[in-house]
Structure 1
Amino acid sequence: MYRVWNFVTNYSLLLIAGAIIALIWANIDAYSYHHIVEYPLWFNDLVGTDATKWVKKYGEDFHITEIGDVTRVLTTHYLVNDVLMAFFFAIAAKEVWEAIILKNGSLRGKKAATPLFATFGGMAGPIAVYLGLAMLLGSETYDAVSRGWAIPTATDIAFSYLVGRLVFGAGHPAVRFLLLLAIADDAAGLIILAIFYPSGDLAPQWLLLSLGAAIAVYLLFNFLPRRMDRGDQLRTKSTWVRQKLGFWPYLVAGALSWYGFQESGLHPALGLLPIVPTIPHADRAFGIFSEAEQYLTDLLNHIEHILKHPVEIILFFFGLLNAGVEFSSIGSPTWLVLAGLLIGKPFGVLLFGWLAASPMRLGLPAGMRTIDLFVIGCVAAIGFTVSLFIAAVAFDSTTMLGDVRVQDAAKMGALFSFAAAIISIVAGKVTRVQKQDI
């Protein structure tokens, strides 16, 4: 339990602190809060959001009407959401990559089949509820909120896993099932962000830069040294590369890949994903919450350890710059997101998990009941981090539904998804879950 709590402390408590400060600040002085969020740090031609659009939206607030011939502006919001959050998504991608590629990876083989089907249900259910209810509310509401269909599909892996252990106990097979579902959900979320939420006009030719950077760094600093070390038990060349160059080649490749994503129109926060698979990694992974994971010394895990504290700070600022929503912004998008998470998730996981386990005869882990799938779905309904991120990219900050900003209302739904923790505990009691602590 210590390892789980330690992970949540590292990656989520500062995020929550930032979100709470943002909520208080935005409801005391909304103008100063949004002034900081969109503060221009650097007008340039390389990094940032479209300068012309920024001036049109926010220039008057900063007394800026003329910017010359520069094309981009690096704002506080862009720095955190589009640049620094790339490191957070790289860590998430590392866990997904290990789960898929390693021989003992948790998403390999038949053991992952039912959780993967349940994951699909945990995404299809929220989408169906979100869009279905939006249709019932009328065409005006549907047109305003339909782009946010992916917001309730997300699962906050850290908090869901912690709540799952509280509900089921550390030794219950449902806890590992939940972790598999959450990892698969993260993988699907990364794909959704890349495909359905581009940050601008698509220019896919720029992805060749990302692909080229990934191939070059893999061949020159991973594959080639290992090939030259064939027959050398001391692995002289690989050791020299690791000791003398370390992570620097991958950082340079990451910067090039990130720039390729920005220019291609895909969300640049995903820009490091092509580089993650190129980094030398251990032959096995113990799992994201395993105590033994911290003792792995391969370069991929070493980089993760280096990023641990910086990502803590990044998540604090992510919460600070994204969760500042005025309570007056609560509206139909809030309830649609919540309904998708709190209704669509549990029933989607239950339905598709049952289909996989019974009619398809893929089965459930020994000691797990069908009704436990519903409780797992309740736990997985904690969206928070990724839901906030998707809400920020799904809607323009100026889109309105009546008197409510759609983006702010949807963010409030993501924040309120913590209610799923209480619902999960109640669901566990009602369905008579037998906790297994060892």
Structure 2
Amino acid sequence: MYRVWNYVTNYSLLLILGALIALVWANTDPQGYRHVVEYPLMFNDVVGVDASRWLIAHGSDFGIDGIGDVRRVLTFHFLVNDILMAFFFAVAAKEVWEAVILENGALRGRKAATPLIATVGGMLGPITAYLGLALFLGSDVYDAVQRGWAVPTATDIAFSYLVGRMVFGAGHPAVRFLLLLAIADDAAGMIILAVFYPSGDLAPEMLLVSLAAAVGVFGMCNWLPRRLDRHKELRPNSTWMRERMSFWPYLLAGAISWWAFQQSGLHPALGLLPIVATLPHADRAFGIFSEAEQYLTDLLNHAQQALKHPVEVVLFFFGLLNAGIEFNAIGAATWLVLAGLIVGKPLGVFAFGWIAARPLGLGLPRGMRHADLAVVGVVAAIGFTVSLFVASVAFATGPLQDAAKMGALFSFGAAILAVIAGKLARVQKRN
């Protein structure tokens, strides 16, 4: 029991706590909860939601009927979802980046082919189930909910990892397979957010500012010191940059990139992604979320370790500000999201994983059976964190968004189904 509690503490305890508090709060004092979520921290012209829209939707709740020519309002919700969650996506992007570019990276070569193909199925399956069932329910339902097709495509890395270890044991190859799938799933989710869910009117030319920030900080703080240190065994310039400047230049570049994403119309929570790729990194990967990486001294891993505990706090507030849904909000979108995750995700993962392993001849990891692949699909149906995030950008604040979020919360039921599936499939735990 200690081990299970340790995993929960390391990955998601604060997130769960925030979500539970939000559920209780929203169902006992809904007006007070909404008042906190949309509380205006600052009126300004730089960061925040569109001031005119906020005034129409929430101004009366705070006794505000005019704000002059101010263009933006920094609300509590915007601070967490659009600014602080950028660090959460940066941590996830770090794992994807290392898995793709480093020697022995987990998403490189033949060993990653089957999980990546299974990931495609794990996204197409939920989309098909969601939209197909919406069409079956009628054109009115379909027209209302179609924008939320991406909500059930996500896999929550932390919770799926936790449940996967409980079902398979730490040493089972299916756990590594699951992690590869979840990381690739979230990488695809970031692309979907950027392409299909812009936060405002598109101004793609602003992305040149983000590119300039990334190229500038890479050139000055990464490439140039290494160039000056050629043929110098002690690497004095790189060492000085690492010890004296640390990650501060990259944080400044990240702030510029974040602002550029906001101005471009893309979701600003993705604004740090171009900067992640510019940080000096280790020469090889130890594996996704490997504990050994905490002993590495490269700046990329150092930044991840520095962000670990702050991001856990951010996830608490994310759960607090996004999971506060009244139970009477349950509607068609709830069951569509749940069907996409609980039905579409396992079927898609298993079907595409089987095609990759058998007809395409790519095989499964040694020691993993096709029955284990089916159980992995059930574990991957836990959408929670990213599903909540996508629901918040896919739908406007209101009953439809709340209904979709409720489906994401109900996906926790996949944990129980995964345990049952593991028993039925006679999974042999390996610790």
Which TM-score tier does this pair reach, normalised by the shorter chain? over 0.9
Note if contact 2:126-2:348 (Cα within 8 Å) is conserved in structure 1: yes
The one-letter amino acid paired with 1:327 is F
Kindly indicate whether the alpha-carbon contact (under 8 Å) linking 1:49 and 1:78 is maintained by their aligned counterparts in 2: yes
CA offsets 1:237-259 (integer angstroms, 9 cap, x no match): 00111111111100000000000
Structure 2 matches for 1:213-224, cutoff 5 A? Answer: 213-224=213-224
Which residue number corresponds to residue 170 of structure 1? 170
Distance 1:3 1:84 in 2: 29
Query: CA–CA distance in 1 between the matches of 2:61 and 2:225?
Result: 54
CA distance in 2, matches of 1:370, 1:307: 37
**Inter-partner Cα distance in structure 1 for 2:355 and 2:11:** 34
C-alpha offsets along residues 354-397 of structure 1, whole Å, 9 cap, x if unaligned?
11111111111122222221110000001111011001111001
The one-character-per-residue Cα deviations of 1:35-91 (angstroms, maximum 9, x if unpaired) are: 110011111100001000110111111111111111111001000000110001000
TM-superposed CA distance for 1:174, in Å, is 1.2
Partners of 1:80 and 1:318 within 8 A in 2: yes
CA–CA distance in structure 2, aligned partners of residues 283 and 76 of structure 1: 40
Whole-angstrom distance in 2 between the partners of 1:218 and 1:93: 17
CA distance in 1, matches of 2:206, 2:390: 23
Percent identity between the two aligned chains:
73
Structure 1 counterpart of 2:426, from 408, 412, 432: 432
1:5 touches 1:162 (CA, 8 Å); kept in 2?
Answer: no
Corresponding residue pairs, total: 431
SS at match of 2:69: coil
* 1:419 aligned partner, one-letter code: G
How far apart are 1:5 and its partner, in Å? 5.9
Secondary structure at 1:274's aligned position in 2?
A: helix
What residue is the counterpart of 1:61 in the other structure? 61
Shift of 1:313: 1.1
Aligned counterpart, 1:41: 41
User: Which residue of the partner structure matches residue 256 of structure 2?
Assistant: 256
TM-score (structure 1 length as normaliser): 0.96
Matches within 5 A, 1:314-333: 314-333=314-333
The alpha carbon displacement at 1:347 in A equals 0.5
What do the CA deviations read for 1:403-424 (whole angstroms, capped 9, x no partner)? xx11001111111111001101
Where do 1:230-379 residues align within 5 Å? 230-379=230-379
Deviation, 1:12, is: 1.0
Secondary structure (helix, strand or coil) at the match of 2:339 reads: helix
Q: 2:402 aligned with 1:408, yes or no?
A: yes
Q: Deviations over 1:193-231 (max 9, x none)?
A: 111111001000100010000000001100000000001
Tell me if structure 1 keeps the 8 A contact 2:106–2:288.
Answer: no
Matches within 5 A, 1:8-27: 8-27=8-27
Residue 119 of structure 2 aligns with which residue? Answer: 119
Matches within 5 A, 1:175-186: 175-186=175-186
Secondary structure of 1:47's partner?
Answer: coil
Q: 1:71-110 counterparts in 2 under 5 A?
A: 71-110=71-110
- Relative distance call for 1:215 and 1:148 in structure 2 (3 A) is same
1:261 CA drift (Å): 0.1
- Report the AA paired with residue 270 of structure 2: L
Tell me the secondary structure at the aligned position of residue 294 of structure 2.
Answer: helix
In the alignment, which residue of structure 2 is the partner of 1:203?
Answer: 203
Unpaired runs of 5+ in structure 2?
Answer: none
Q: Give the equivalent residue in structure 2 for 1:401.
A: none
- Contact conserved, 1:10 with 1:308, CA < 8 A, in 2? no
Q: Does the residue aligned with 2:277 lie in a helix, a strand or coil?
A: helix
Q: 1:269 to 1:182 in 2, by over 3 A?
A: same
Letter in 2 for 1:166: M
- Structure 1: runs of 5 or more not aligned: 399-404
User: How many angstroms does 1:135 deviate by?
Assistant: 0.6
After TM superposition, give the deviation of residue 3 of structure 1 in Å: 8.4
Deviation at 1:290, TM superposition (A): 2.6
Alignment partners' CA distance in 2, 1:140 and 1:397? 19
> Structure 2-normalised TM-score?
0.98
Letter in 1 for 2:158: A
Alignment RMSD: 1.3
Q: Is the Cα–Cα contact under 8 Å of residues 4 and 166 in structure 2 kept in the other structure? A: no
The 2-side partners of 1:10 and 1:283 are apart by 26
Amino acid in structure 2 at the alignment position of 1:242: R
